[in-house]
Amino acid sequence: MRDAGTGRTRSALATAGAVLVGSGVLAAAVLAGCDATGGNSPAPGSTSGKPRPSAKPTPVWDRSPDSLAAVGDSITRGFDACGVLTDCPEVSWATGTDEGVRSLAVRLFGEKRAEDRSWNFARSGAAMNDLPDQMRKAAAKSPDLVTVLMGANDACRPSVASMTPVDEFKDDFAKSLEVLRREQPKTQVYVSSVPNLKRLWSQGRGNPLGKQVWKLGICPSMLGDADALDAGAVERRDAVQRRVIDYNEALAEVCGREDRCRFDGGAVFDYRFGTGQLSRWDWFHPSKDGQSRLAELAFRAVTARKDPAEPTA
């Protein structure tokens, strides 16, 4: 992987339920030849009286992209997966080279080719308003696929009141896709839902060391006063959870406007991360195993015949 990012050390996981996204499946037309008099002789230029199928159009969504650029926050940088309060991009779910993770790039291109065909522009601490700039850097590589996992830091603020408004979040995401489309109109985009921050709190709050690390400033809106269960604390966490769900709905809506964009249908938000998938240093970010699970979910979505966000019949 060509690592193209450095970063702050704060970020968090998050996600929310979602819906929608478009990706067409085109049918083949069959043309039968007939002669000018309506008889049974072959049409001019045909070699038999049998119908000749027309060439199949190439499907809009390519399930076998040949290069990948990743944008996002600390999750995609592998933050706290290898050491305390540090990035570890080699275990990134999107572009990492660690054989235990088997990143999306490795699954798509193989271990030997993944490093030359993938780039990581994510930055720890990044929020959605940072995405347009990351997308410009990604577009410069002319990738077949761009992966997006962003939004946790928009919810993980010092207070509920300081969380990114949903309209701003949505506008910045739409602007990011516009930036990509101006430079690379045919590049595909895989969009991960924001992880379920409330579940991460419930899983990690039983670890004393993790709660000490949380006090350093990791996702205070959700993780602050981790043991508090009074009405105010419950209301605060519920407000963060609702915002994450709203973010995921915004991602699904904007991504759903394009044939070359796939939202994961809420797969990451719905995934039941356990303590084994959480960092042993902060009990919030994904561990190597958690990164591997994210890679698996992404690979399923990218290579699926049907868009995962499409409603089932």
What are the tokens at 215?
Answer: 């006090």
Judge contact between 287 and 209, C-beta under 8 A: no
Position 4 scores a pLDDT of: 52
CA distance 11 to 126: 7
Answer yes or no: is pLDDT of 36 > 50.
no
Average pLDDT over residues 167-190: 98
CA distance 290 to 219: 18
CA distance from start to end of the chain? 39
Answer yes or no: is pLDDT of 257 > 80.
yes
Answer yes or no: is pLDDT of 179 > 80.
yes
Average pLDDT of every residue of the chain:
85
Average pLDDT over residues 59-81: 95
- Angle, vertex CA 144, rays to CA 126 and CA 130, nearest 5: 15
In this structure, of 126-130, 253-257, 281-285, 295-299, the range with the lowest mean pLDDT score is 281-285
Position 311 scores a pLDDT of: 75
Average pLDDT over residues 226-246: 97
Average pLDDT over residues 38-58: 45
CA distance 150 to 123: 10
Please choose, from the candidates 23, 13, 16, 11, the residue with its C-alpha nearest in 3D space to the C-alpha of residue 193.
16
Position 60 scores a pLDDT of: 86
CA distance 104 to 278: 19
pLDDT tens figures, 98-121: 999 999 999 999 998 999 999 999
CA 216 to each of CA 202, 284, 287, 291: distance values in angstroms, whole numbers, following the listed order: 18, 13, 19, 23
Please choose, from the candidates 293, 262, 279, 94, the residue with its C-alpha nearest in 3D space to the C-alpha of residue 190.
262
pTM of the model: 0.81
Average pLDDT over residues 235-253: 98
pLDDT tens figures, 75-85: 999 999 999 88
Return the SS3 of 247: helix
How many CA atoms within 13 Å lie on the side-chain side of 251?
A: 33
Domains of the chain, start order: 2-24+59-303 (3.40.50.1110)
How many CA atoms within 13 Å lie on the side-chain side of 301?
A: 31
Answer yes or no: is pLDDT of 290 > 60.
yes
CA distance 149 to 147: 7
Handedness of CA 270, 271, 272, 273 (dihedral sign): negative
For residue 238, count other CB atoms closer than 10 A to its CB: 12
Position 132 scores a pLDDT of: 98
Answer yes or no: is pLDDT of 12 > 70.
no
